[in-house]
Each structure stands twice: as structure tokens, then as C-alpha cells.
């Protein structure tokens, strides 16, 4: 109970720090939303009036207090440009991004873990070499290039999948998934490569442990040995990587959304940064921080489930 | 216990079942993908009644008075303007105003309003509605304020007549009234805080969905000119990446898209129709005439002569940027005939070097300044080309790349030497470009460039109510500025390129203003 409370307190602290740093950083960057709003032909007086109307000429502590107070109430403010509540804009954009990220994560987990296990079990063999080579290439290739190649072959030359866009689940599960296959694969490829390398390393490490020899001596082979003794023990580094990749997936959507013409959180973040739409940009960063912090909490919980010794160690300490 | 130390040294397992399980998921995934791929096409079946347009910018707001640079296209379907431009000739044609008359001194503009027009919320369109809308647009916190600032007072003569009293000659207002400034908002919606995403006008379409990705429109049956509307639904889809728009068009996810000149060959090879037309957007170098050297007109003329515009067109724009030494290309009335043919307009780095030497800038003591460009690839590349070309004339330059959001404040504050930027010289009208950049108190004239007689020429042009009437004073003005050394050096006018699916008709690149899609038809091939 105390541990959970401590974890939650740490999470809140992290989110507050992110909020504070974002608030300060976006105001340090040159550029002014009032200037953007006013257009190139506005006079200095007109710009000043807009700045006052937006509350941007208040002292920074006053602006920050207002922003923090609103955050505590769950209000992320309104877009400077279209007046829409930031929460609504995030809610509109999030399904597309989270769907792409989910498919990418599933793709990465399936192929990454699968390929990593095969490579680990066949260390030094052709399968291992093939997986290692593909993983290195997968990490090295830029995602925009992978995306364009996939679109060319699977949307233009062979019109199997849509080249661009996102279809919400309300249009049907199959339509939703068809729109996600190419962007999800594009985004997930580098993560799959990362996971494959860590899984391979973990499997090789575990196979060299004395308890594997003991298990073998007790007659465990094949599926029983892999599932019961290898996978579980090799999973800790893989789960760690998965947690770390959450942030990367969110960041990666910026490029994937541009390549596939998907209007999600990535493009929302880019546009709000270019337009200096402070509330939207801040709302996005807070949202991303919450997602990453939650992912890390889940990874912590998963450690205990995968290996009960972790919980025991924490309890004894 | 089984013997097997070798296995521990070199763990070789025979995981036939494990492998089967491991591969099962990917195999199932591929099977699922195959079945998804066969689910059908990409949704183009809905195309016959919905026109899907791909555009690089998003709608930041649908409030015409707060519009940004690229919002006009998203607002035009909802809001009719008082005056319209003929798409082919650019001439003024009736909109919500059926007639207009500018007084001989240019200080009064009388508008006769169309009768029997309703707004989409049922409110009546009349002189009072026009007054209320224009007064809102004039409020200092509105973007439209600078366009409407010449309006001193709005007089409601009767329900179908409005008189605009102007502080100075205002022929340019006719163009302003074809843009955001002339979009009339329903009086019931003027104070609606949701106006930015729930617009209410008297135009042919109502907004059915607004998001950062797309704006969807549906025909409004109460539109006064309903027979002119052939397309039941329009979707404007934002795709910031040029290649993405092209791929969406190639895969029939769009019916038409705004593209880049360099994409023309691929469009043609894909069997798509291509519309190409340069308009009033011009790539320019904006010079700060308060800087040493750049305040000298002969130096500015030398810099203009040092620019190899044909080379830029061929090598950077792949023949997609029409070279020009003056702000308006030939298709527009302020264009000065014969100016390009003058010897002092030709690309001539040797002559430029001579002129610079006469002004006191030699190889030993070269003219030097910084070229600033926004962090957008095409302008950075253009700035690099200019650096090399100025170098041939003995000019030393440094490059500075700034965030695009910094460009407007830089222009206003004058914290630059030379700025590579695109300028729409025709928006809202040609005299506005002149007033902004060439008149002493122009908002984008940080060096206070000034020539005797320019104010009078602008006033003369603004006493006229047609492009033909404005032509004389505007040509005289551009000739004068060219001879004095222009503070804004034009480089070339980029082509507007639109890719269109075969079978889609009724779409054209307008001479002035923005695209209109209500007359689009999608035939069998679309």
C-alpha cells in the first residue's frame, strides 16, 4: 500500500515537473502566439491588444499559477486559435495515434519476441544471423522511408491497403485495422528490431544459467523448457524495453502521421509548436507524460508478476 | 538424469512445437492482413457525392475575422462575400452585394445588397447584418482589422443599401470585400464563442464536422444561388506532407489535391489531370533599406541583376517558377510591359559588380550582409542559391535560418538585412502590397523606404473601382520603384499545381482569391 502510494506520488511529481518545464521552455523559444494570430500586417497596438486578451502580458508566475490551477481542475485550457477545449482536441486526436501505437506495439511484440526467441535458441545459426541482420537494418532505416516503401508496394502497386488516412472504429473493425496495418508496421518495425535483439540476448543468457541445466536434467525439453523456464526469465529486459519504447512510439507517430496523412497527436503537437499555441502544446506534453509514467508503472507491476523475487526483494528492503 | 553436458555448452534445443507456436502468431497476422486487404477498396465508392480535396494547411479557425494566412479556402464554402471574383478573369462580380459604386474622390463606397437572402441559422441578410459584421471585423483584436481599417463609419441607408464612409480613397476595399473582410457573419452568431468551429454564413455549404484533420461540408438548401451548387458534399482533408497528398491522389483517396511543381511529371505519368498556373504569390528577397549598403538604390538594383532567375527556375523549381523582376507577372493588370527586356533588368553579374564598385563596394571592401530564411526547405535552398549568385558579383553574405514563426515579428521589427520570403502581392489587392512595402509608414517597411509621388499614385489607384482603372497609376508606380532600386526584389512566381482525378470537372485555379468547389462534378472515371 505504502509502495503504491509512493509510486503514485512520484508519478504526480514527475507530471508536475513536466508541466513546469514545458511552461517555461515554450516561453523561452522565440515566437509569440499574439504575433501569429495578428498576421503580418497588424500594427504593434493590435498585437498588444491580442496579447492582453490572451493574458500573455501577465507576469510569468501569474500565468503559471493560472495554468497549474486549471490543470488541477482537469482543465487544460483552450486553443488560442480556434477556441476548442484542449481536452477535446486531445480526445479527437488520441484515438488515431493510440491505435497506430497499439498496432505497432502488437506487431513489435509478436515479431520482436518471436524472432528474438528463435535467434536466441539458434545462436550462431542462419536464423540467428538473419534476425540480427534484419534487426540492425530495421533500427538503422528511417521510418519515413520504410513507410514510403510499404505504401508503394502495398497500396499503390498492389492496392491492398489504404495509402493514407485513419478510419475510426465506428466505421467497422476491419476498416479500422486496414488503415492501421501499414502505419503500424512502419512504426513498429524499429521497436520490433529492438525487442528482437533484447529477447535474443535474454534467451541466450538464460540458456546458460545453471537452472536450465537442472531443468534439462529433470527432463524438461522443447516447449516445456522454453515456456516454463526460458521465456519467463528472459522477459524482464524485454518488458523494460517495451516500457522505454512507449515514449519512442509516441514520438515516432509525428513522422508516421505525416507520411500516412493521419491527423493524430503527432501532427497536433507539430502544428501547435509551429503556431505557438501554448495551451495545446502544453496539453500534449502533459498527456504524453501521463502515458509514459503510466507505462512505467505498468512495467514496475509487470516485474513483480514475471518474477515474484522482485516483489520479495522490495518487501525485504 | 540424461547425460548432456554438450547441450549446456551449446544449447541446442529441438523446439519443433515451440517454433510452431512462436510462428503461429505472425502467420495468423499475415493471414489476417491478407483478409483485410481483400476487404475492399479504399472507400472511393463514396466519391460520387463527396468531393475530397487534399490541402497542405489546416483550418486554424473558421472565424473569418480571425483567419490566418491559409484559412480562406476553408471559410469560403460557408460564407458568401459581398463581392466575388470571376474565377477566370479575376474581375469583380456580384456576391451578396449586387451593385457597388465608389465616389469620385474614393471616400464613399455604396453597396446595394441582394434581397431575399437568409443566413444558415434563419437570420435575415440585410444592411444591419452587414454593418454588424463589418464592425466586428474592424475591432482591433481581429485579424481582419488591418484590411478594413480604411472604413471610418458604416451607414445603413435602408435595409438593402449600405454606405461605407472611408478615411482615405478606398478602391482597394472592393478586393478586401472579396476576401475574409467581405464575409458576412449571421448577426445571431456574431458573439457565439464557438464561431471558430461552428460558422454561420449565407454561403452554399454548412459545416458538418470540423477537426484538425478535415472539415466536412454539406449543401445548404437555403442558399440563394442553390442551382449553381452541383456537389452535395465536400471534404477538405489536411495532409501537410506533399508526397502523402500525391500518394493519396494516386490511390484514389482524394479527388483533387494541391501539389508542388516538382510533382507534375509523376502526376502525368500516373494518368492524373494536372492544372498549372502561376498567380500572385512571388518568391522575393525583402531588403532592409536602413542597413548600410542596402539603403543605396543602385546597390539594390545591382543585387537584382546578380540574381539568375532562369537558373533558379530551371535548377531549383524544375521549370515551375516563372522568373520576374517585378511583383506582378504578365497575367495581371499592374504588370509593366517591357520591364523584363530592359538591359538593367537582365541577369548580369559583371554589370552588378561594376555598379557595386561605383557604390564603393569592391573585392577589397565587399558589400556584406546576412540572408535570413525561414526553416522551410524551399526557402533555405533559395537562400543558398542567392548566396552563391551574390557571391559571383562580389557580395559576401552569411545565411541565417529562423523558425518560420519568427518571420512576421522580424519583418515588423526590422531585425534582418535580407529576408527570403514568399509574398502574395495580390492579396487582398495590389495597392495593399504597395502600401505595406513601399510607403513610408507601411507596416512592412522597416527601412522607411520612400519615393516622392508614391502616396499620390496609390491614392489615384484607390480612387478607381476596377483593375483596369488602377492599371495606369500602378504601372507608373512599379516602374518608378524599379528604377529607384526596389526594396522587395522579386525572384519568380511559383506555379500553383493541382492534381485532379480523371472524370472530375468544374475545378480551376482561380485568377484571384481562393478555390471554390461548389461547381465540381465527379464523372464515372472519378
Question: Rg (Cα) of chain B, in Å, rounded?
Answer: 28
Q: Where are the alpha helices (DSSP H) in B260-296?
A: 264-269
What the block records as the C-alpha cell of B442 is 507601411
Q: Is the pLDDT of residue B81 over 50?
A: yes
pLDDT, one tens digit per residue, over B460-480 is: 999 998 888 999 999 999 999
Q: How far apart are CA A202 and CA B169, in angstroms?
A: 80
**Which among B211, B213, B251 has CB closest to A159?**
B251
Output the pLDDT for position A40: 64
3-state secondary structure of B177: coil
Q: Is the pLDDT of residue B331 over 50?
A: yes
- Asked whether residue B193 is domain-assigned, the answer is no
What does the mean pLDDT of chain B come to?
88
What the block records as the C-alpha cell of A298 is 505498468
Three-state SS for A34-80 is: HHHHHCCCCCHHHHHHHHHHHCCCCCHHHHHHHHHHHHHCCCCCECC
Dihedral of the CA atoms B24, B25, B28, B32 (nearest 10)?
-170
Could you identify the residue written with the cell 472579396? B178
What's the domain count of chain B? Answer: 3
**Residues in chain B closer than 8 A to A30 (CB atoms):** 402-403, 405-406
Same domain, B446 and B468: yes
**Which among B26, B36, B237 has CB closest to A178?**
B36
Q: Where are the alpha helices (DSSP H) in B4-69?
A: 5-9, 16-37
pLDDT, one tens digit per residue, over A229-248 is: 788 778 887 888 888 888 88
What is the distance in angstroms between the Cα of A82 and the nearest Cα belonging to chain B?
A: 5
With bands split at pLDDT 50, 70 and 90, how would you rate the model's confidence at B43?
A: very low
Same domain, B224 and B132: no
Task: Report yes or no on whether pTM surpasses 0.80.
Answer: no
pLDDT, one tens digit per residue, over A14-62 is: 889 988 998 888 787 776 777 767 766 667 777 787 788 778 888 889 9
CB–CB of A67/A282 below 8 Å? yes
Q: Is the pLDDT of residue B7 over 50?
A: no
What the block records as the C-alpha cell of A208 is 546458460
CB–CB of B123/B129 below 8 Å? yes
Higher pLDDT, A36 or B482: B482
Q: Which residues pair with B164 in a beta bridge?
A: B109, B154
Q: What proportion of chain B, given as a percentage, has pLDDT over 70?
A: 90
Output the pLDDT for position B11: 36
Could you identify the residue written with the cell 490566418? B68
Residue of A nearest to B59 (CA): A82
Per-range mean pLDDT, top range of A18-27, A119-128, B373-382, B457-466: B457-466
Q: Angle formed by the axes of helices A60-72 and A2-28, to 10°? A: 140
Higher pLDDT, A217 or B120: B120
3-state secondary structure of B54: strand
B409's enclosing H/E stretch is: helix B407-413
Output the pLDDT for position B473: 95
Output the pLDDT for position B162: 97
Q: How far apart are CA B499 and CA A24, in angstroms?
A: 44
Output the pLDDT for position A1: 65
Q: Which residues pair with B504 in a beta bridge?
A: B522
Q: What is the mean pLDDT of residues A91-98?
A: 91
ipTM (interface pTM): 0.71
Higher pLDDT, B116 or A70: B116
8 Å CB contact of A222 and B15: yes
Q: How far apart are CA A47 and CA B169, in angstroms?
A: 26
Q: How far apart are CA B414 and CA A40, in angstroms?
A: 13
Nearest residue to B295 via CA among B428, B485, B500, B104: B485
| Boundaries of domain holding B19 | 1-59+207-255+501-526
Output the pLDDT for position B22: 44
Residue B519's domain is classified under what CATH number?
A: 3.40.190.10
Output the pLDDT for position A72: 86
Same domain, B116 and B232: no
**Which among A83, A110, A276 has CB closest to B405?**
A276
With bands split at pLDDT 50, 70 and 90, how would you rate the model's confidence at B275?
A: very high
Same domain, B250 and B395: no
With bands split at pLDDT 50, 70 and 90, how would you rate the model's confidence at B16?
A: very low
Q: How far apart are CA B51 and CA B519, in angstroms?
A: 10
**Which among A36, A160, A258 has CB closest to B244?**
A258
CB–CB of B230/B506 below 8 Å? yes
- Asked whether residue B195 is domain-assigned, the answer is no
Half-sphere exposure (CA, 13 Å, Cβ side) for B134?
Answer: 27
Output the pLDDT for position B404: 75
Low-confidence winner among A146-160, B36-50, B75-89, B240-254 (lowest mean pLDDT): B36-50
Q: How far apart are CA B27 and CA B33, in angstroms?
A: 10
What the block records as the C-alpha cell of B132 is 454588424
Q: Is the pLDDT of residue B24 over 60?
A: no
Could you identify the residue written with the cell 477545449? A85
With bands split at pLDDT 50, 70 and 90, how would you rate the model's confidence at B147?
A: confident
Same domain, B444 and B301: yes
pLDDT, one tens digit per residue, over B390-429 is: 999 999 999 998 877 678 778 877 889 999 999 999 888 8
**Residues in chain B closer than 8 A to A174 (CB atoms):** 36, 39
Question: Rg (Cα) of chain A, in Å, rounded?
Answer: 24
Q: What is the DSSP string of chain A?
A: -HHHHHHHHHHHHHHHHHHHHHHHHHHHSS--HHHHHH-TT--HHHHHHHHHHHTTTS-HHHHHHHHHHHHHTT---B-TTT--BHHHHHHHHHHHHHHHHHHHHHHHHHHHHHHHHHHHHTTTSHHHHHHHHHHHHHHHS-HHHHHHHHHIIIIIISTTS-SS----GGG-HHHHHHHHHHHHHHHHHHHHHHHHHHHHHHHHHHHTSHHHHHHHHTT--HHHHIIIIIIHHHHHHHHHHHHHHHHHHHHHHHHHHHHHT--SHHHHHHHHHHHT-HHHHHHHHHHHHHHHHHHHHHHHHHHHHH-HHHHHHHHH-
Could you identify the residue written with the cell 505472425? B26
Q: Is some CB atom of chain A closer than 8 A to the CB atom of B68?
A: yes
With bands split at pLDDT 50, 70 and 90, how would you rate the model's confidence at B161?
A: very high
- Asked whether residue B39 is domain-assigned, the answer is yes
Same domain, B392 and B481: yes
The maximal CA–CA distance of chain A, rounded, in angstroms, is 85
Pairing outcome for strands B151-158 and B161-166? antiparallel
In chain B, positions 407-446, which contact chain A (CB-CB < 8 Å)? 408-409, 411-412, 432, 436, 443-444
- Asked whether residue B47 is domain-assigned, the answer is yes
Same domain, B445 and B309: yes
Q: What is the mean pLDDT of residues B11-26?
A: 42
Q: How far apart are CA B487 and CA B303, in angstroms?
A: 11
Residue of A nearest to B3 (CA): A217
**Which among B15, B68, B247 has CB closest to A226?**
B15
Sign of the C-alpha dihedral computed for residues B50, B55, B61 and B67 taken in this order = negative
Low-confidence winner among A136-140, B25-29, B116-120 (lowest mean pLDDT): B25-29
Sheet holding B151-158, edge to edge: B97-102, B108-113, B161-166, B151-158
Nearest residue to A40 via CA among B445, B64, B416, B183: B445
Low-confidence winner among A158-162, A313-317, B493-497 (lowest mean pLDDT): A313-317
Same domain, B294 and B177: no
8 Å CB contact of B244 and A164: yes
Number of Cβ pairs < 8 A linking chain A and chain B = 209
Same domain, B305 and B444: yes
- Asked whether residue B75 is domain-assigned, the answer is no
What is the distance in angstroms between the Cα of A94 and the nearest Cα belonging to chain B?
A: 12
8 Å CB contact of B14 and A44: no
With bands split at pLDDT 50, 70 and 90, how would you rate the model's confidence at B442?
A: confident
Output the pLDDT for position B312: 95
What the block records as the C-alpha cell of A218 is 529433470
Low-confidence winner among A51-65, B77-91, B216-230, B398-412 (lowest mean pLDDT): B398-412
CB–CB of B369/B447 below 8 Å? no
**Residues in chain B closer than 8 A to A155 (CB atoms):** 247, 251
Same domain, B354 and B394: yes
- Asked whether residue B69 is domain-assigned, the answer is no
Q: How far apart are CA A53 and CA A173, in angstroms?
A: 45
Half-sphere exposure (CA, 13 Å, Cβ side) for A155?
Answer: 28
Residue B485's domain is classified under what CATH number?
A: 3.10.105.10
Nearest residue to B12 via CA among A280, A207, A107: A207
Q: Is some CB atom of chain A closer than 8 A to the CB atom of B116?
A: no
Output the pLDDT for position B176: 93
Pairing outcome for strands B418-424 and B368-374? parallel
Residue B91's domain is classified under what CATH number?
A: 3.90.76.10
Output the pLDDT for position B41: 44
The maximal CA–CA distance of chain B, rounded, in angstroms, is 112
Output the pLDDT for position B351: 94
Three-state SS for B190-243 is: CCCCCCCCCCCCCCCEEEEEECCCEEEEEECCCCCCHHHCCCCEEEEEECCCHH
- Asked whether residue B8 is domain-assigned, the answer is yes
Q: What is the mean pLDDT of residues B36-43?
A: 47
Same domain, B320 and B456: yes
C-alpha distances (whole Å) from B394 to each of A182, A275, B3, B21, B399 are 52, 38, 85, 72, 16
Q: Is the pLDDT of residue B21 over 70?
A: no
Phi, psi of B361 (to 5 degrees): -110, 110
Q: Is some CB atom of chain A closer than 8 A to the CB atom of B32?
A: yes
8 Å CB contact of B212 and A89: yes
What is the distance in angstroms between the Cα of A64 and the nearest Cα belonging to chain B?
A: 23
What the block records as the C-alpha cell of A255 is 513522422
Q: How far apart are CA B177 and CA B148, in angstroms?
A: 9
**Which among A41, A89, A223 has CB closest to B21?**
A223
Task: Show me where the domains of chain A are located.
Answer: 2-72, 89-316
C-alpha distances (whole Å) from B230 to each of A208, B88, B501 are 73, 19, 17
What does the mean pLDDT of chain A come to?
85
Higher pLDDT, A29 or A313: A29
Q: How far apart are CA B196 and CA B65, in angstroms?
A: 10
- Domain A89-316 fold is MetI-like fold (1.10.3720)
8 Å CB contact of A39 and B69: yes
- Asked whether residue B332 is domain-assigned, the answer is yes
Same domain, B402 and B464: yes
Q: How far apart are CA B470 and CA B335, in angstroms?
A: 11
pLDDT, one tens digit per residue, over A98-116 is: 999 999 999 998 998 889 8
Higher pLDDT, A57 or B154: B154
Amino acid at each position: 500500500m505504502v509502495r503504491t502510494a509512493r509510486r503514485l506520488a512520484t508519478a504526480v511529481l514527475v507530471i508536475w515537473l513536466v508541466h513546469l518545464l514545458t511552461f517555461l521552455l515554450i516561453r523561452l523559444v522565440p515566437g509569440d502566439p499574439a504575433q501569429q494570430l495578428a498576421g503580418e500586417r497588424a500594427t504593434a497596438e493590435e498585437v498588444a491588444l491580442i496579447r492582453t486578451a490572451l493574458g500573455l502580458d501577465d507576469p510569468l508566475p501569474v500565468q503559471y499559477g493560472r495554468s497549474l490551477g486549471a490543470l488541477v481542475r482537469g482543465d487544460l485550457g483552450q486553443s488560442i486559435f480556434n477556441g476548442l477545449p484542449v481536452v477535446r482536441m486531445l480526445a479527437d486526436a488520441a484515438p488515431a495515434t493510440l491505435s497506430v501505437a497499439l498496432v505497432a506495439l502488437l506487431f513489435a511484440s509478436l515479431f520482436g519476441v518471436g524472432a528474438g526467441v528463435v535467434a536466441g535458441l539458434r545462436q550462431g545459426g542462419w536464423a540467428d544471423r538473419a534476425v540480427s541482420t534484419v534487426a540492425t537494418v530495421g533500427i538503422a532505416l528511417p521510418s519515413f522511408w520504410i513507410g514510403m516503401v510499404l505504401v508503394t508496394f502495398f497500396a499503390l502497386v498492389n492496392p491492398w491497403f489504404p495509402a493514407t488516412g485513419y478510419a475510426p472504429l465506428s466505421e467497422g473493425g476491419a476498416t479500422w485495422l486496414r488503415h492501421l496495418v501499414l502505419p503500424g508496421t512502419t512504426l513498429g518495425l524499429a521497436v520490433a528490431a529492438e525487442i528482437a535483439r533484447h529477447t535474443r540476448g535474454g534467451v541466450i543468457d538464460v540458456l546458460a544459467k545453471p537452472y536450465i541445466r537442472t531443468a534439462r536434467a529433470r527432463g524438461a525439453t522443447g516447449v516445456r523448457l522454453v515456456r516454463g523456464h526460458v521465456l519467463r526469465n528472459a522477459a524482464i529486459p524485454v518488458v523494460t524495453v517495451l516500457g522505454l519504447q512507449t515514449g519512442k512510439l509516441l514520438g515516432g507517430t509525428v513522422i508516421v502521421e505525416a507520411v500516412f496523412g493521419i491527423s493524430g497527436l503527432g501532427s497536433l503537437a507539430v502544428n501547435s509548436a509551429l503556431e505557438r499555441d501554448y495551451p495545446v502544446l502544453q496539453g500534449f506534453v502533459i498527456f504524453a507524460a501521463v502515458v509514459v509514467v503510466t507505462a512505467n508503472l505498468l512495467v514496475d507491476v509487470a516485474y513483480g508478476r514475471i518474477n515474484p523475487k522482485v516483489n520479495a526483494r522490495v518487501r525485504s528492503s | 538424469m540424461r547425460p548432456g553436458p554438450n547441450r549446456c555448452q551449446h544449447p541446442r534445443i529441438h523446439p519443433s512445437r515451440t517454433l510452431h507456436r512462436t510462428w503461429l502468431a505472425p502467420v495468423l497476422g499475415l493471414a489476417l492482413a491478407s483478409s483485410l486487404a481483400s476487404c475492399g477498396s479504399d472507400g472511393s465508392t463514396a466519391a460520387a457525392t463527396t468531393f475530397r480535396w487534399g490541402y497542405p494547411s489546416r483550418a486554424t479557425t473558421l472565424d473569418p475575422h480571425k483567419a490566418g494566412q491559409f484559412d480562406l479556402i476553408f471559410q469560403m464554402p460557408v460564407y458568401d462575400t459581398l463581392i466575388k471574383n470571376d474565377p477566370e478573369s479575376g474581375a469583380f462580380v456580384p456576391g451578396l452585394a449586387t451593385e457597388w459604386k465608389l465616389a469620385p474622390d474614393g471616400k464613399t463606397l455604396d453597396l446595394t445588397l441582394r434581397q431575399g437572402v437568409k443566413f444558415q441559422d434563419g437570420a435575415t441578410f440585410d444592411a444591419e447584418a452587414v454593418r454588424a459584421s463589418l464592425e466586428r471585423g474592424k475591432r482591433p483584436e481581429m485579424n481582419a482589422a488591418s484590411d478594413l481599417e480604411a472604413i471610418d463609419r458604416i451607414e445603413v441607408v435602408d435595409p438593402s443599401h449600405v454606405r461605407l464612409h472611408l478615411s482615405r480613397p478606398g478602391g482597394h476595399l472592393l478586393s478586401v470585400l472579396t476576401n475574409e473582410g467581405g464575409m458576412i457573419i449571421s448577426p445571431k452568431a456574431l458573439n457565439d464563442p464557438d464561431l471558430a468551429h461552428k460558422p454561420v454564413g449565407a454561403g452554399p455549404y454548412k459545416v458538418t464536422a470540423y477537426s484538425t484533420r478535415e472539415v466536412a461540408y454539406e449543401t445548404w438548401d437555403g442558399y440563394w444561388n442553390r442551382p449553381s451548387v452541383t456537389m452535395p458534399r465536400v471534404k477538405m482533408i489536411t495532409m501537410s506532407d506533399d508526397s502523402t497528398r500525391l500518394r493519396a491522389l494516386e490511390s484514389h483517396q482524394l479527388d483533387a489535391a494541391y501539389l508542388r511543381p516538382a510533382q507534375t511529371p509523376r502526376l502525368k505519368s500516373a494518368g492524373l489531370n494536372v492544372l498549372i498556373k502561376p498567380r500572385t504569390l512571388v518568391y522575393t528577397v525583402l531588403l532592409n533599406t536602413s542597413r548600410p549598403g542596402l539603403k543605396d538604390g543602385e546597390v539594390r538594383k545591382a543585387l537584382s541583376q546578380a540574381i539568375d532567375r532562369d537558373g533558379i527556375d530551371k535548377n531549383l523549381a524544375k521549370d515551375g517558377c516563372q522568373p520576374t523582376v517585378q511583383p506582378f507577372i504578365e497575367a495581371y493588370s499592374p504588370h509593366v510591359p517591357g520591364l523584363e527586356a530592359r538591359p538593367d533588368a537582365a541577369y548580369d553579374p559583371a554589370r552588378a559588380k561594376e555598379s557595386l564598385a561605383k557604390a564603393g563596394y569592391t573585392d577589397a571592401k565587399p558589400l556584406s550582409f546576412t540572408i535570413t530564411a525561414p526553416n522551410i526547405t524551399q526557402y533555405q535552398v533559395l537562400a543558398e542559391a542567392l548566396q552563391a549568385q551574390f557571391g559571383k558579383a562580389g557580395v559576401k553574405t552569411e545565411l541565417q535560418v529562423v523558425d518560420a514563426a519568427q518571420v512576421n515579428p522580424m519583418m515588423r521589427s526590422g531585425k534582418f538585412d535580407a529576408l527570403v520570403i514568399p509574398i502574395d502581392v495580390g492579396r487582398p489587392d495590389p495597392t495593399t502590397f504597395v502600401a505595406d512595402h513601399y510607403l513610408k509608414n507601411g507596416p512592412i517597411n522597416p527601412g522607411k523606404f520612400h519615393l516622392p509621388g508614391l502616396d499620390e499614385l496609390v491614392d489615384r489607384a484607390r480612387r478607381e473601382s476596377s483593375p483596369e482603372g488602377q492599371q495606369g497609376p500602378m504601372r507608373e508606380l512599379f516602374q518608378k520603384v524599379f528604377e529607384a532600386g526596389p526594396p522587395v526584389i522579386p525572384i519568380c512566381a511559383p506555379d500553383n499545381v493541382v492534381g485532379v482525378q480523371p472524370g472530375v470537372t468544374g475545378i480551376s485555379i482561380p485568377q484571384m482569391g481562393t478555390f471554390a468547389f461548389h461547381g465540381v462534378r465527379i464523372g464515372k472515371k472519378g
